[in-house]
Structure 1
C-alpha cells in the first residue's frame, strides 16, 4: 500500500511543472509536485511570457502580479548590438517581444525571466492547494491500468515514500529521464550548440553610459553572447549568456574563465567581477516521438526543445500544461472518458513540430537564412495564436479538408479547432474580454436571435453568453463575421478558449444537440466503462 495518494504526480518544479500544478489546482484537482533542486533557480533562462501565456495567466487574475516582476530594463524593449559594451555599436533593433498582436489577443508580452515568473506560479498554486516539494526526487515508478506508483526521496533527510497517483505528468526538462525510461525517442535537427548563463556582479554603469536597452548582443573574437541586467537601477547583478561549441560543458569553465568571458563582453580587461553562479544548456531542436505512454504524459522541454530565438519554448510548455489540465480534470471527475487524453498529443504534437521549426528559422536568421527556410517563416502572431487543432476533442466540419496546422489569426475562420477570436463582451454593463472568462468551464456563445440556446446551455451545465444582449451592433457584427455563424447560431468554446463546435443557425432541439456534441467532444458514451484496458505493470528506474 502506498504511503500517500494524489490525483496527479508532477515530476519537475520548473516553469512548466509549476504551471501544471497551478492549472490543475484551479480546476480543483489535487496534485503533488516533486523537484530535486532545493529551490527555484536564480538563472533567468526563458526571458518573456508571450501574449498567449499572459492571456491564460490573466484569466487566473495573475497579470498584475506577473507584470510587477518584469525585468528591470523591460521598459526599454529594444536590443543593442555591439562588439562589446564599450566597443563599436553595430546597430539596434526592436526586441521580438514588443510586437503586440494587434486586436488578436487580450494582452501583450511581459518581459520577465523564468526566475521571476516561477515564484508567482508557485505561490498561487500552493494557495490553491497544490502540494509542492522541492529537494525531493522521484527515484523510480511503475504504472498499471489504474495509475502510477512512484518512490520519492526527501533529499534533506534521505527518507523515501511511496506515492500512488492516477496520472503522472513528466515536466523534467530537456534531459528527459522519464521519457528516456519509457523508451520514447525524439526526432528533429538535433543540437546546434551550447550556451552558458553566468550570473555575476560588476559595476557596469560607467560602460552603459546612460544608454537604454533591454539586452545587449555582443560579438567579438573572445565571446559571442547576450548581456542583461538582473537587478534594479542600483544593482550590480547581471547575466552573460555566451555561446559554447557543441558538446561543451560549463563545468570545464572555472571561475577565472567566466571572469574573462565577462571582461571580453564588457570590453574592459581588468574589470572587477564577482561570479555568483554558472550553468549551461544546449541549443537544440527536436520533438518527442510520443507525448504519452499509458498514464504518463509529457509536457514542456521533455516533449519538445527549440532554440531560444522567438521566446517560444517555455511558453509552449505552459500552454501544454493548460491544454492538459482541463482534460485531466474532466477525466478525473468522471465527466469525460479517458480517451479525451488522447487529444493532448493529437493537438500539441503538430503544434510543437511547427513551433520548433519557427524557432529554428529565427535562429538561422542570425547567421543568414536559406530560401527554403525563409519560405516557411510565419509571422509572430500566427505562431502565437494561429494554431489549428485536429483531434477527437474538436468536431471537424464537413468540407473542412485543410490539414494546415495554423491559420492567420488576423483573418480568423471561426472553424472548430481554432482559438476563439478576441471579443470585447459586455456583462452587467462592464466590458470583459472574452478570454478573461475562459478559465475552467465550457462556454456557449449565441447570436443575437439565438434565445433558445440559453435554456439548453443551462440544462447541460454550460456557461452562457448571449452576444447582442448588451453589446453594441459593431461587436455583434464582429462576432457573427469572425465566428462564421448567423443570428440564431451558436459556438461551443472549450476551457482553453478553442472552438469545439459551431452551428450557423437554429436547430430543432438545442438541448439534444448540445448533449450529442458534448458526448463526442468529451469522448464519453453513457453506460460504458471508463476504465482503460488492463495491462501488466512496467517498472521504470530513474537515473
Structure 2
C-alpha cells in the first residue's frame, strides 16, 4: 500500500508545472508537484508572457502582480542590431513583443523573465493549497487502469516514499525522462543549434550611452548572441545568450571564457565582469507523437519544443496546463467521464504542430536561412488567438476549411472550437465594460443574445440535471447597442441565440435561435443538458 494517495502528481516545477498546479488548485484540486532542483531557476530563459497567457492571469486576478515584475526596459520595445554594444550599429527593428491586442483581447504582452514569473505562480499555487516539493525527484513510476504508482526521493536526506496518484502530469522538460520511459517518440526538424545564458554583473550604462532598446543582437568574430538588461535590485545585472558551435556544450566554457564572451559582446576588452551563473540549452523543434499514455499526460516542452523566436514555447505550455486542468478537475469530481481527457491531445496536438511551424518560420526568417518560409507565415494574432479545436469536447459545425487549425481572430466566426471573441460586458466603474474572459475562472458561461432571456430560466433545469454551475449573461442587459451588434457579428447567432463557453474560454456549442414559445425553457434546458453531457463525456 502506498505511503500516500493524491489526485494529481505533477513532475517538473518550472513554468508549466507550476501553472498546472495553480490552475488545478484554483479548481479545488490539491496536486502534489515534485521538482529535483532545490530552488526556482535564477535564469530568465523565456522573457515574454503572451497576451493569451496574460488573459488567463487576468482571470485569476494576477495581471497586476505579473506586470509589476516586468523588465524595466520592456517599455522600449525596439531591438538593436550591432557588432557589439559599443560597436557599429547594423540596424534597429520593432520587437516582436509589442503587440496591441486592439479588439482581439483586453491585454497584451508582458516582458517578464521566467525567473520573475515563476515565483508569482509558485506563491499563488501554494496559497491555494498545492503541495510543492522541491529537492524531490520521481525515481520510478508504473501505471494501471486506475492510477499511477510512483516512488519519490527527498534529495535532502535520500529517503523515499511511495505515492498513488489518479493521474500523472509530465512537465519535465524537453528531454522528458517520463516521455522516454513511456516510449513516446517525437517528430519534427530536430535540433538547430545550441545557446547558453550567461547571467552577469557589469557596469554597461556608460556604453549604452542613453540609447533605448529592449534587447541588443550582437554579431562579431568572437560572439553572436543576444544581450539584455535584467530587472531586479541590482542595476548592473545583465544576460548574454550567445550561440554555440553545434559540437559545443556550455559545460566546456569556464568562468573566464564566459567573461571573454561578455567583453566581446560589449566591445570593451578590459570590462570588469562578474559571472553569476551559466546554463545551456538547445534550439530545436519537434512535437511528441502522443500527448497521453493512459493515466499520464504530457504538457509543455515534454510535448512540444519550438525555437524562441516569437515567444511561443513557454506560453504554449501554460495554455496546455489550463486546457488540461479544467478537464482533470471535472473528471476527478465525477462531473465528467474520463473520456473527456481524450480531448486534451485532440485539441492541443494540432495547435502544437501549427505553432512549432510558426516558430520555425520566424527562426529561419530571423536567421536569413529560408525566405521561402514566408509563404506559411501567419500573423501574430492568429498564432496567439486563432486556434480552432476539434474534439469530443466541442459540438462542431462542419466547414470547408475544417482541416486548418486556425482562423483569423480579427474576423472571428464564433463557431464552436474557437476562442470566444473578446467583448466588454456590463459596466465597470468609469463606464468601461468588463472583458468577457475576465469572467472565466473555472466554470462554464452561457452567453445569450438580447432576446434570449428565456435561456436564464432554462439553466435551472441544467443545474439540476448536471450538477454543474453554469453562469449566465444576456447581452444588452448592461451593454450599449454597439456591444449587442458586435456580439451578433462576432458570434454568428441571432437575437435570441446563445453560445456555451467552456472554462478555458473556447466556444463549446452555439445555437442561432432560442426558446421562443411559452414553456420552451424546459426543452431548452433539456437541450443544454444534453449538450453538456456530450461535451463532458457523461454517460447518457
TM-score normalised to the size of structure 2?
A: 0.96
Q: Deviations over 1:87-118 (max 9, x none)?
A: 00111111110022221011000000000000
Pairing of 1:71-110 with structure 2 (within 5 A): 71-110=71-110
Secondary structure of 1:421's aligned partner: coil
Pairing of 1:242-321 with structure 2 (within 5 A): 242-321=242-321
Q: Quick one: distance in 2 between partners of 1:17 and 1:458?
A: 37
Q: Quick one: distance in 2 between partners of 1:209 and 1:513?
A: 66
Q: Quick one: distance in 2 between partners of 1:327 and 1:50?
A: 23
Is the Cα contact below 8 Å between 1:19 and 1:121 reproduced in 2? Answer: yes
Bigger relative contact order, structure 1 or 2 (CA pairs below 8 A, ≥6 apart): 1
Is the Cα contact below 8 Å between 1:224 and 1:243 reproduced in 2? Answer: yes
Secondary structure of 2:308's aligned partner: coil
Corresponding residue for 1:128?
A: 128
Corresponding residue for 2:466?
A: none
Corresponding residue for 1:536?
A: none
Pairing of 1:511-526 with structure 2 (within 5 A): 511-526=525-540
Q: Quick one: distance in 1 between partners of 2:234 and 2:292?
A: 47
Corresponding residue for 1:164?
A: 164
Secondary structure of 1:33's aligned partner: strand
Deviation at 1:402, TM superposition (A): 2.1
Q: Deviations over 1:432-477 (max 9, x none)?
A: 1100001110100011111110011233231000111111111001
TM-score normalised to the size of structure 1?
A: 0.95
Is the Cα contact below 8 Å between 1:193 and 1:247 reproduced in 2? Answer: no
Corresponding residue for 1:436?
A: 438
Q: Quick one: distance in 2 between partners of 1:438 and 1:469?
A: 19
Corresponding residue for 1:50?
A: 50
Secondary structure of 1:468's aligned partner: coil
Corresponding residue for 2:180?
A: 180
Corresponding residue for 2:227?
A: 227
Secondary structure of 1:456's aligned partner: helix
Corresponding residue for 1:530?
A: none
Secondary structure of 2:110's aligned partner: coil
Deviation at 1:234, TM superposition (A): 5.5
**2:402 paired with 1:402:** yes
Q: Quick one: distance in 2 between partners of 1:372 and 1:391?
A: 33
Pairing of 1:340-355 with structure 2 (within 5 A): 340-355=340-355
Q: Deviations over 1:407-433 (max 9, x none)?
A: 000000000000000000006887211
Deviation at 1:276, TM superposition (A): 1.0
Structure 1 residues 125, 287: closer, same or farther in 2, change over 3 A?
same
Deviation at 1:139, TM superposition (A): 0.5
Structure 1 residues 356, 401: closer, same or farther in 2, change over 3 A?
closer
Secondary structure of 2:510's aligned partner: strand
Q: Quick one: distance in 1 between partners of 2:400 and 2:439?
A: 28
Q: Quick one: distance in 2 between partners of 1:234 and 1:139?
A: 39
Q: Deviations over 1:496-523 (max 9, x none)?
A: 0000000000245110110110011001
Corresponding residue for 2:482?
A: 474
Secondary structure of 2:374's aligned partner: helix
Corresponding residue for 1:464?
A: 472
Is the Cα contact below 8 Å between 1:446 and 1:467 reproduced in 2? Answer: yes
Corresponding residue for 1:504?
A: 512
Structure 1 residues 446, 231: closer, same or farther in 2, change over 3 A?
closer
Is the Cα contact below 8 Å between 2:172 and 2:178 reproduced in 1? Answer: yes
Among 491, 498, 521, the residue aligned to 2:499: 491
Structure 1 residues 59, 265: closer, same or farther in 2, change over 3 A?
same
Is the Cα contact below 8 Å between 2:169 and 2:297 reproduced in 1? Answer: yes
Q: Quick one: distance in 2 between partners of 1:85 and 1:428?
A: 47
Q: Quick one: distance in 2 between partners of 1:247 and 1:327?
A: 43
Q: Quick one: distance in 1 between partners of 2:289 and 2:372?
A: 25
Pairing of 1:327-406 with structure 2 (within 5 A): 327-368=327-368, 370-399=370-399, 402-406=402-406
Deviation at 1:191, TM superposition (A): 0.5
Secondary structure of 2:531's aligned partner: helix
Equivalent residues, number: 526
Q: Quick one: distance in 2 between partners of 1:519 and 1:422?
A: 27
CA RMSD of aligned residues (A): 1.3
Q: Quick one: distance in 1 between partners of 2:372 and 2:92?
A: 27
Pairing of 1:144-155 with structure 2 (within 5 A): 144-155=144-155
Secondary structure of 2:426's aligned partner: strand
Q: Quick one: distance in 1 between partners of 2:215 and 2:208?
A: 11
Q: Deviations over 1:290-312 (max 9, x none)?
A: 00000000000010000000000
Deviation at 1:369, TM superposition (A): 5.2
Is the Cα contact below 8 Å between 2:147 and 2:164 reproduced in 1? Answer: yes
Q: Quick one: distance in 2 between partners of 1:401 and 1:384?
A: 19
Q: Quick one: distance in 1 between partners of 2:206 and 2:457?
A: 68
Is the Cα contact below 8 Å between 2:494 and 2:513 reproduced in 1? Answer: yes
Q: Quick one: distance in 2 between partners of 1:440 and 1:345?
A: 20
Corresponding residue for 2:26?
A: 26
Q: Deviations over 1:130-158 (max 9, x none)?
A: 00011000000011111111111111111
Deviation at 1:373, TM superposition (A): 1.3
Deviation at 1:233, TM superposition (A): 8.3
Unpaired segments ≥5 residues, structure 1: 527-543
Deviation at 1:247, TM superposition (A): 4.1
Structure 1 residues 19, 247: closer, same or farther in 2, change over 3 A?
farther
Tell me which moved more, 263-272 or 301-310.
263-272
